[in-house]
Every structure is written in structure tokens, then in C-alpha cells.
Structure 1
Amino acid sequence: MEPQWTPTDLDIIEADVTSFARFVEKRTGESLPDYQALWRWSVDDLAGFWGAVWDYFYLGERPDQVLAGTEMPGAQWFPGARLNYVDQVARQARTDRPAIVAVDEDGTIAELSWAELLGSTVAFAKRLRELGVGPGDRVAGYLPNIPQAVIAFLATASLGAIWSACGQDYSAQAALDRLGQLEPTVLVAADGYRFGGKVHDKTADIEALRAGLPTLRATVLVSRFGGTLPEVSSWDDLRPDLDVTDIDSAQVDFDHPLWVLYSSGTTGKPKGIVHGHGGVLLEHLKAVALQSDIGPSDTFFWYTSPSWMMWNFQIAGLLVGATVVCYDGSPSAPATDALWSIAARVGATVVGTSPGYVLACAKAGSVPRADHDLSAVRLVGITGSALPPSSSLWLRDNVGEHIPVASISGGTDVVSAFIGGVRTVPVWPGELSAPYLGVALDAWDEQGNPVRGEVGELVITKPMPSMPVRFWNDPDGSRYHDAYFDMFPGVWRHGDWITLTEHGSIIVHGRSDSTLNRHGIRMGSADIYQAVERLPEIAEALVIGAEQPDGGYWMPLFVVLSPGAELTEELKTRINATIRTEVSPRHVPDEIIEAPGIPHTRTGKKLEVPIKKIFQGAEASKVVAPTAVDAPELLEWYSAQRSR
């Protein structure tokens, strides 16, 4: 197989990662002729690498010691360092480009200058301070992807307080399951959001949320659609100082909590994952600037929500002076290719989306390069699940053959990626180009032996600064330990199956805890989805492998049909033939079953493991929290299928 994109000599020369490599060579004497050599050095000398990242981005005076021990969990980074994430944002202030471009589904576009961003941050921080918010207090957001969410986060962080947010697609109960754990002091909420051509009024949910958060001292309401609530403070009362030059941020320890994100919450309440100021700052500078080559001339547009770590990741564009795009709406309204239309209108240089959206565009016959001016786009980012080769090639043919596709894989756990693209490395269809710098990634078998060219567990053998500081309400660290270090003590097991290829790229097969294991052969579910979901009759699919009490193994494929399609014997035969041809005969399911829908977590992951457990006899209420599911009523349907 040939690469679908190869860097030019100019790409390599101009890439920020090349500049970084020269910086390292000068200070260390190392010879780093290519990305692979730089990556190897970055994991062999963790302290040297992360110290170089700090110095390369001019983060100020740093302690002499970078890493106090490499044990996991428990590694201590930059002991004695004092800093604040927001200071790096403030250092990027400029007058020639906006800080944020806000886009509404109704077509409205507004710009927020750097002066307005920083002035509003200072003004909101002052209001929070007046409400008694200080270091360690929690401020909660219940907001869509709008500039006020960014400002509220920055103001919170500048005080050394802790930010946590849910998008408004979450119900009040689902938001309470998350935010309620933190006992927040202040709630920042919008009266509604826009999606699919409709305005969704969230005032009733806000009232329910307030009633369930007895620790609140105040609620600040962003009224976008004229909504009102009693006893709230209005965001519109802010009076930003446009001449502000100093954020006057609280200087905090390197691992002082910055924000709390949440696991998918498939069993029990979602786990609160705590990340620190310093770890996030260093990881995001590396990931955004060195891996994605984003800088002051870029407009960074990733379709996301405050519920998803990619919202936090996109804000990192501000750390390098880029313009970030906040979009409130559907990527497919009023037409399937709406996201590409927005990218054209705002002049986006980096566009991020999901494999599902790419597939929807392909099925709709969209040709974005012909219908929209995408001349500014130089990188397409993909995350959420594995991108099949056909979708990667579709992007090449329909968005631009000169545009690399940076498919990335990581997670909320490290609020970044382990694997992804880099401007100096080729892109192979369906593969992720390289491990990220500073990520000691490997593939291991069940005995802990490295494997190459075959499926293995994704493991990280050395610490990263953005690994969680801790889990919320986990005083002895047992939940944190069990989540990542139970299978291989001292080594992070992420729960993904990967293959390391001979040319240094990585294939992600899907979650290892939902891996199909037929006759001892391990298979990833993503391989089946990539084949089946390309068929025009199939809207979505879910496959599980359920071990049976008699020692047997049942592997059904549930399919949601496209409008007008029928699950005929001819279609079943074609599905099986597609899987047999494009994946392998071992992947052909035992049965194909029409389903009314596929349940997902609120962040879009298919509920493979809970559905598997249901078919092994568990009660739905014991394996998944209904508030963590986008369509909990579907669980009853799957439970009813156990008698088949």
C-alpha cells in the first residue's frame, strides 16, 4: 500500500517540529534527522524532552528537576514549579486577528478580539472573586460551544479554581451525575442551544440542576434566546476592560487541578478525571504546535461540545495564538455538508471531525472541494473512532489530495492523543501516522510481551505529564489504579487494540475490552463497522461477542437500516460477503438482527461492553447508568432479545 499523502521538502523544512528538533540538537548534540529519531529520543530521555518543550515555548523560569521518579501512577513533574495555564493565553494577545470566531447554525458569525477575550476573562474573574471563589473551588458550566464557555473557563482557571462543564445535550440528571460530584460554588449556564434547525430551551433543566446543587452560591445566566430565571446573575452585566494588559493570575503548583473531565460512565456514575495546569499546558503545546503544526496564522475549527475533551483540546489553539472557532449547531444542518460550508466561510486552516460525519458525507454524495472554497484548509483532523481506508481516500478525493488527514487516538484520560499525525510523516489510508512525541507507546500481548505486525494491547510504558493528577473522590487512588494499571502493574493499559506496522504507523482496531475473540483469534469491532457501514442500506451497526455458559460463543451483528431499506435475505448475504471479503471470514457474524437503534455514551461511543453483558445475563441497570446513554429506552429492546 502506498501513502495517500507524502510531505514535501518544504513541509519538512517549515514544520514547527523540525524547528524543535534543531533546537534540541543544539542543546544536546543529538542527531535527529527525522521524526522517528526525535520520537525515540523523546521517550528515551523524558526529562530532556519535556524540559526542552518548556524552554522551546518560553514558559519562564523552570525548576532544574523535570521528573522526580518515573513510577506510574505517582510520577511527579517539575516539582516546585509555579505557573498558570491562562498566562500562556495572555502572552498571545494580538490585534491583527480575532481570538475566537463564533458561528451559529442560523448562519450568524461574530468575532471576538483578543482584547475582548482577555478583558472579559478579567471581568468575569472579578465577579467570581466577589462571589468568594478562590483556589480549589469548583465552577460548573452547562453551556453549548460558545465564546462565553471559553471565557468562563479562563476566568476560573486564572483564579486557581477548578472548571468542569457539560454540553446542553445532557439532561439535568445526566449533568448532575457529573457536576454534582464536585459540589460547585458557581454555575454558568445558557438558556438554550441550537441544533438541527431548532432552538432547545434549557431553562427547566437549569432549574432542576440548581435544585440538585445545594452548594451553589450563584448562577450566571447567558441569555441567548430571551430566557429568564429568578435569582440569577446576568452575563450581560459584564463590563470588560478592553485595555487590560495583566490577567493577575494565581500562580499554582504544576499539578494543581485545572479542570475535571468525565469518563463515559457506562457503569455507575462517571468518574471525574482531574488534570493539572502544568501537565495540560505542556501536553497541549506539544500536541497543537509540534504535532498539528498549528500556530498564529491558523484558524482552528473542530466540531465539538464542552462535554467532550476535544473542546478542551481546541481551546489549546489559544495557547499558540491561533484563532479558534466556536460553533453551536449541527454539522449536518441545513445540509449534510454544513461543516465544510462553515469551514469555507471562516477560512479554517485546520478542520476536525469524526469518521461518522465523513461517512455521512460520502453516502450523501457530497463533494466539498467542488461546492465550497476550501483553499485555506491545510489539515483535516479525525477522532472518535477508527477512520477506514475508504473514508480517508474519500477525503483525499473530495476535500483535497494536497491535504493530510491527521487521524488521532487518545482520550479524556490524558485530554490529548497518544497517536496521530505530524507534518513530516506520510499518511497511509486507514492508519495513524506515528506515536506522539513523549508517548512511550507499545503493543503488548496478554503476557506483557511486545508484538509487531499483529494485534496487541495499547500500553504506555512511561509517564506523561497530562496523565490524571487523580480521580475525584478517590482518596486512596484505588479507582485510578484499577482503571489503567491493573492488568500490567506500573504500565498504563489504555483498553485499545492496536497493530504497529512495519513502516511505523499504527492501526487502531477498537476497544480491547469489547474485542471479539473467536476460537482464540482476537478481532476488533471497528474492522466490521468500517466494512458494513459503507453499505447504503446500513445506517449504523453494532457487533458483540458473548461467551455462552456452555462454552460456546455467539457473535451477532445488529444493524440499523437506512430509510426505506429492508433486511432481506439478499441484504444479509451481501453484508456477510462484504465482511468476508473486506475483513475476513472469521469476522462474519453468527446472526444479523435488525435493531431500532444503537445506544451510545453521551460522547458517542457505542455501548458494546454493556450490551455484551446484557446478553450474558446481566440486568441493564447493573451494567450501565441510564443517564450516561443517549437513548436509554433502547436498553429494554436489547434486554428483550436475550430470549432469542
Structure 2
Amino acid sequence: MPPNSFPSNGFRIEEAGKYYEPPEDADNAEIRLKNVISNKYKVQFDTYEDWFTWTHQNYPQFWETVLEECDVKLHNKYTKVVEADVPMPKVPKWFPGATLNYAENCLKNGKNDKIAFIEYEINGNQKTYTYSVLRQDVAALATALRDKFNVQKGDHICGYLPNVYETAVAMLATTALGGTWSSCSTDFGPTGVLDRFAQINPKVLFVVDKTSYKGKHHSLVNNVNEIVDGLGDDLKVIVIPQLDKPIELDVFDQRSQYFCYNELKKEVGDTAAIEYTPVPFHHPLFVMFSSGTTGIPKGIVHTVGGVLLKHVEEHIIQTNISEQDTILFYTTCGWMMWNWLMTVLFTGATIVLYNESPLEPQDILLKIVSETKATVLGMGAKIYDEYAKSDIDYKKIHSLSQLRLILSTASPLKASTFAYLNGKIRPQVVIGSISGGTDIVGCFMGATLNRPVVPGECQHFYLGLDMCTFNENGEQVEDERAELVCRNPFPSMPLEFINDSDGRRYFNAYFNKFPGVWTHGDFVLIDSQTKGSVIFGRSDTTLNRGGVRIGTAEIYAVVEKFEEIADSLVIGTVDPQDDTNENVLLFVKLAPGHKLTLELMKNIKIKLRNRMSPRHVPNEVHPIDDIPYTNSGKKVELAVKQVLQKEVVKNINSLRNPESLKLFEPFAST
């Protein structure tokens, strides 16, 4: 395939200049690892596909070499790399016999005077914390947790917190003691928090009494009172001060359960030393929660070693992050990208935190990149889409030349947005559309410095993973839309689900469709020429038009280019005349000052017919005032489909804007 030509992935856009191609003399961590493996195992890699294939066909050797070359610190040596005699759907143990500590590994490489965190405030102020200060703060808090609250290995600690420095300290202090961490962001309501935290009965809960969004202060006292009341009398609550204002513990109910974060650290002093608790490789590190749009959120247990090793491979090997980097990834601590981001500390890099609105003003994140000299930028694809809609040439406004890597996730990144980023943010930057999920607290595909960027595609599957797509018959296919699967075990497979003693929910989540194969629930096309992937949305909301499966992302990619359209949602409902077919309803949220006219509806349908196919044309187009999203920024199609079919919508509290579902009730089938 000629460089920078476009694959047959359904997207055609104007070329926005030359896209990134790996230089012939490239020198990065992935290339160095490849050379180590080539010498160690006497194997030659003539192409990138040779290299990728070796890593998943020899996955025990690959992951062992990553562990060794990236210098993951172990306290006890392992007896084997993986239980190779334990086939999926069972979960094999990795590095049995080994012990380690997550926090110790995250904190061991950062130089004392190197900035670990920059906390950027809405007024432009920057609070900086060095690795030396971070280690000191973690030591003090861990000591307080151990001595005052008897926190020890295996205890659950939770946080109802914003994305601020103290949240990172709380997580690291917890894991330093061998505890298990879970967090929800402060945009969750009490029911959403209790649906999650009540499953794990935490010993300690970290909270804030107030937060700020769009520059406005919001009290969280009532939320916290309700959450604490629902978690029981034995819970201890640590309140972290926010907005540079003192804490008034008397405003809380059950006053005796509350403690001040700063006072606890002050009691310990600045001389505490960290005493890391070694735990087995498969010891629980995080309990993550599914988005919960199909029921009570699943509590997904992830392991210390599995998370650490997978993240280290993604950060160092896939994207070459090092102590020379500064990364701004816009996230909340209710999204798995926060956990992913925290492990960047292992590299000794600097992490930039921002807890305000990402789009007020619209270019605030780009301003932060400029002022902090960030080299890596990440956020949800929808934010990049907003930049693209503005068509502003931000590289002429902000200093963005130091950016070397742009990461996008949460939903597919449109090819047209690739073009915008390449043309008006940072020409020839590596654009990594990364995809994975809470289920693996990491990525299946995304970025590499050693493959070209093709607009509309995730560059490549990640190393060590036997990824492919299966059609309905379980046959491996390329160049067609099919089910994304992984055919070999990997370190960050969940250990188990909470309250799933027989493993049935775990099996049904990943292994029910194809025997012995992890089915991820994404609808993907692998381009046979580029080996990149195009994601078409979740397979459980894939449209069926006359037996042809259509991903909703294909329709969004066309509809949301209209300047009159601010957002959209596509839902398939059963055709009453043909239960093997679906009627497609398109709901459009109009941009300010625009109406859904007959002419606009006609133009949308013509564009879909011409750019995609007649099957992509919706049966109906309706205006809607709002589109529902999860707290992690994903469109909620399934819940709307349930509303339209007059089914019960479970766990509505997992939505960022649950009130939006009522807008769809008038369109429900009769």
C-alpha cells in the first residue's frame, strides 16, 4: 500500500498533508525490545507482522522479557511465567511465586527533583509536586492508614474524589500497604456510588466536601452523607480539603466517622518511611466497575502484577513514554484511563491533572499543553471532534510543536478528525486511536511509533495479544466488519468478578459466544493491507439492515459533519413487518440557532446514501434536546433502545445525564 494512501475502510477524506510514518533510523523502546528478543531467541523479524506474530505465539517469552527489560521490581522470584496448562476460559496465574508492590514500582524511578504531578487550575495557576514530595506524602498517609485504621493487605479502600493530586496519593498509599483501591468521580450521584462501593464493603472512604466545575463551586456534603450512611457504621471517612478552603467536619452526619486528611498527615510528620507490603502477582489491585447500562455494575477485580505489566508495556514499549515526557490525559477517576494514567509514574514522567470542564473555554486543554510543554496529549474522541467542528488552526495560537503523541479513546476517532489533528494541531504527529476497556484496564489496539498513521484506523493490535475478528460462524476474517476476539491469555485479564462465586457472570461476559476465545463486544474491521483496525461500535448495539450488520459509528461519522448537528444517536428497533430486520431511528441534537428542517433531513439521508450505502439511511430522523452519556464519556445506545422498546432500563444512575432518557419516551413503540 502506498504511504499515506487510504485503505478500503469506508472513509474517504481530503488528505490533510502527510501523516506520520516511522523513520528508517527509528530508535525507540519497542525497537530495542525487538532487538533484545531477536538476539535472545535467535529469531529474525523481516516485517512488523513477523514481530507481532512472534510476540503472541510466544507470549510467555514476550511478557517475561518485558518484565525484565523494563525492570519491574519483584521481591520474590517466580517459578514459571504463566500457567500454560490452564486454557481460557479459565484464568491462568501469571508469574506464580513472585511478589511485588504496585506503589513501590510506580515510585521507584522518578528522580527526587523531577516533577511528578502538575495540577492545573482553572485560573491558570499550577501546583507542582516532585517525586520526592510524592514519596513523602505517600509514606505519611500509608503510615496513618496502617497505624490509625489498621489498613492491611487485602482491605478495600475507596475514593469519591476529583482528579487531583491527593487522589493519586490516596491510591498509592492504599496499594503500598497491599490494599485494593476503587474510585468514583464526583459527578456520580449517591446511588451510582453505592451501587459500586456497597459491593466491596470498604474499610476507609476518601471524599471531598466540595468540588468545582466550570469555575462554579458545588457542595458534596449531602452526597457524602448519603453514601456514608449506605456503607455502614464501621466505615472511616477521610476528607480531603479542596479549593484552598478549610474543612468543617461538623457539617457531616455521623461526625465520629470523619477525619481530616491534612491532620492525619501532620500527626505522622515528614519523617515517615514507606514500608511496602509485597503481595503475590495475582493479588487484587483495583476493583473496576462496568458502565452498568445493562444492570448493576459488575465489580471487575484486576491484579497487581497484571495491571502493572500491561501498563508498563503500553507506556514504555508501545508509546515510548520516558522521564523526558509530560502527559496530559483528560480523565476523571471514575474512568479506567485514570488508573492507566497513574501507572505512567513508573516511567518517571510528569503527569498533568485538570479537573474542570475540557471545553470551557474550548481550547483550555491545548492551552495547558502549551503552558506545561506536554509531549503527550490524550482525551475522549468527542472532545477532538469539537475541535474539528471549530476548524480553528490551533497550532497558530498555541505552542504545540513539542507534542509527539496524541491519544484518543472512549469512542472511534473519525477520519475527518484525524485530518484536523494532523493539519491544525500538530502535523505528522503520531495519532493513536487506542481501544480496550475497563474489562482489561488497558488496550487491545492503538498506538505505536513503528507503524504509519492511517486516518480512521487504530494503528495496530498491541504486542503479545493474538487479536483477530470472527464472523458469526467463528471464522477468522479481514476486510469485513466482525467480532473482535483475543485467542490467548494476557496478564491483565480480570482475576474474577465480585459476587460471582461460580464464575458464571465472568464466563458469560467474555467466553459465551466463541468457546475458549475472549469476545470483547466490539464490532471491528481489520484492513488486510495496513493491518490497522476500524471500530464500528459495540456489537450489542450493531444495526441489522436486511441481514447486513452496520456499526453506528459509520452513521455518526457522516451525520456529525453537518454544521447544524451538535450530536446524534442511532438506534435500531425491530421492524414489525420483518423481525430479521431493523428500523433505524436517528436522533439529532441541533447546534444552537438551527432547526431540523425537511431540507436538512433530506440532505442527511442523501449524504448517508452517497457516502455509505442505502442501508445506512435511517427510517426516521427526530430532533432531541440531549443525548445520554455514561460518566466515562460514551454514548448510551442500549438504554435508549430499551426505552424505545418499553423495557426496564437498569442502573440508570450510571449515566451522566439520566434525565435525557425521558426525552425518548414519546418515540417508544406502541
When normalised by structure 1's length, the TM-score is: 0.96
The question of whether the paired residues in 1 share the 8 Å contact of 2:201 and 2:231 is answered with: yes
The Cα offsets for residues 397-454 of structure 1, whole Å up to 9 and x where unpaired, read as 1111131101101000001110001001100000011000111111000111001111
Q: Is the 8 A contact 1:84 1:157 kept in 2?
A: yes
Trace 1:125-144 onto structure 2 (pairs within 5 A): 125-130=142-147, 131-144=149-162
Pick which of 550-559 and 109-118 moved more: 550-559
| Amino acid corresponding to residue 30 of structure 2 in structure 1 | V
Q: Would you say the 8 A contact 1:105–1:194 is kept in 2?
A: no
Q: Which residue of 2 aligns with 1:259?
A: 286
* Distance in 1 between residues matched to 2:28 and 2:110, nearest whole Å: 23
Counterpart CA distance in 1 for 2:113 and 2:612 is: 51
1:556-595, aligned counterparts within 5 Å? 556-595=585-624
Counterpart of 1:517 in structure 2 is 544
For residues 91 and 34 of structure 1, the distance between their equivalents in structure 2, rounded to whole angstroms, comes to: 35
Local SS of the residue matching 2:465 = coil
Unaligned runs of 5+ in 1: none
Tell me the distance in 2 between the aligned counterparts of 1:511 and 1:643: 23
Could you tell me how far apart the structure 2 residues matched to 1:166 and 1:541 are?
Answer: 27
Residues 460-609 of structure 1 mapped to structure 2, 5 A cutoff: 460-502=486-528, 503-552=530-579, 553-609=582-638
Q: Is the 8 A contact 1:349 1:378 kept in 2?
A: yes
Counterpart code for 2:125: T
Counterpart AA for 2:120: V
- Hey, what does 1:270 align to over in structure 2? 297
Q: Distance in 2 between matches of 1:617 and 1:60?
A: 54
Question: 1:140 Cα deviation (Å)?
Answer: 0.7
Counterpart among 63, 67, 87 of residue 71 in structure 1: 87
Alignment RMSD: 1.6
TM-aligned CA deviation for residue 165 of structure 1: 0.4
Residue 19 of structure 2 corresponds to residue 5 of structure 1: yes
What pairs up with 1:31-430 in 2 under 5 angstroms?
A: 31-60=44-73, 62-69=77-84, 70-72=86-88, 73-130=90-147, 131-214=149-232, 216-225=234-243, 226=245, 227-230=247-250, 231=255, 232-237=258-263, 238-239=265-266, 247-333=274-360, 335-430=361-456
How far is the alpha carbon of 1:364 from its aligned partner?
2.4
How far does the alpha carbon of each residue in 1:371-391 deviate from its partner, in whole angstroms, 9 at most, with x for none? 111122111000011111100
* Alignment-mate amino acid for residue 63 of structure 1: Y
SS of the residue 2:249 aligns to? coil
In structure 1, how many angstroms separate the alpha carbons of the residues matched to 2:491 and 2:429? Answer: 31
- TM-superposed CA distance for 1:473, in Å, is 1.3
- Partner residue of 2:641 out of 596, 612, 630: 612
Give the conservation status (yes or no) of the 8 Å contact 1:115–1:242.
no
Aligned-pair CA distance for 1:632: 2.0
**Could you tell me how far apart the structure 2 residues matched to 1:229 and 1:453 are?**
60
Give % identity: 35
> What secondary structure is seen at the aligned counterpart in 1 of 2:485?
strand
Q: Deviations over 1:41-98 (max 9, x none)?
A: 1100111111111111122464241111351232221111111111212211313420
4+ residue stretches of structure 1 with deviation over 3 A? 239-244
Instruction: Report SS of the residue matched to 1:13.
Output: coil
User: For the Cα contact (< 8 Å) 1:185–1:215, is it kept in 2?
Assistant: no
Match for residue 41 of structure 2?
A: 28
Q: Which runs of 5+ in 2 are unaligned?
A: 7-17
Q: Distance in 2 between matches of 1:139 and 1:405?
A: 36
The 8 Å contact of residues 138 and 186 in structure 1, kept in 2 or not, is answered as: yes
CA–CA distance in 1 between the matches of 2:317 and 2:271?
Answer: 32
Using a 3 Å threshold, how does the CA distance of structure 1 residues 346 and 253 change in structure 2: closer, same or farther?
Answer: same
After superposition, the Cα gap between the structure-2 partners of 1:330 and 1:274, relative to the gap in structure 1 and judged at 3 Å, is same
Q: In structure 2, what residue type is equivalent to 1:539?
A: A
Deviation at 1:599, TM superposition (A): 1.3
Q: CA deviation at 1:549?
A: 4.4
* Mapped partners of 1:113, 1:599: distance in 2: 39
Offset, 1:338: 0.8
Q: Which whole-Å CA distance do the structure 2 matches of 1:534 and 1:349 have between them?
A: 29
CA distance in 2, matches of 1:533, 1:212: 42
Give the TM-score normalised by structure 2.
0.93
Kindly provide the amino acid, as one letter, of the partner of residue 535 in structure 1. Answer: F
Q: Give the match for residue 432 of structure 1.
A: 458
State the AA in 1 paired with 2:352: V
Please tell me the residue identity of whatever aligns with 1:7.
E
The one-letter amino acid paired with 2:595 is E
Q: Deviations over 1:457-502 (max 9, x none)?
A: 0001111110101111111111111111111121111111111112
Whether the 8 Å contact between 1:162 and 1:259 is mirrored in structure 2 is yes
Judge which range, 90-99 or 562-571, deviates more.
Answer: 90-99
- Structure 2 distance, partners of 1:403, 1:22, is 25
